[in-house]
Amino acid sequence: MEYVLETNNLEKRYGKFKAISNLNMHIEKGSIYGLIGKNGAGKTTLIRVICGLQNASKGTYSIYGIKNTSNQICNVRKRIGAIIETPSICMDMTAEDNLKEQYKIIGMPGFDNLDEILKLVGLNDVGKKKAKKFSLGMKQRLGIAIALARKSRFPYARRTNKWSRP
């Protein structure tokens, strides 16, 4: 079985407070996984640790089979797209322009799949509307589009049909 994420006794402490305590999880390739819990349960902390924004206090994790202690972990993290709290978008730009800017930031050679990603998140018909005029839901969908842009092998969504819009 191939896992995209595994954690083994993962712990994150802030002083004496344990935000994550002995977390063991195994997320299979191709699965959709949700983090659900009360405020302060450690959901955001886990995402920050996995994305490399914070270090674990104890335990280990692997992303696509690469341990967090490996010098290859930074390369593996390039395959991850995450939204923590609010998406980082330029309010004076359109959805398409925001996505093009993200493509440039991550070093994509062109704008392949841009229309497909916008269609997938339901923003293909917003035209020249600036992000500052978007509803909260539209801004969140744009954030998801930006996170998906980081996945260089976006055709995965077509192969598994797991990302079809209701």
Query: Using CA atoms, how far apart are residues 166 and 163, in angstroms rounded to an integer?
Result: 9
Locate tokens 């390369």: which residue?
Answer: 75
Full-model pTM: 0.67
Query: Using CA atoms, how far apart are residues 57 and 73, in angstroms rounded to an integer?
Result: 17
Tokens of 38: 């009360």
Residue 114, judged by CB atoms within 10 A of its CB (0-12, 13-18, 19+), counts as buried
Residue by residue, pLDDT tens for the chain (166 residues) are 899 999 999 999 999 999 999 999 999 998 888 888 898 899 999 999 999 999 999 999 999 999 999 999 988 988 887 877 777 889 999 999 999 988 888 777 778 788 899 999 999 999 899 999 999 889 989 998 888 876 644 443 333 334 433 3
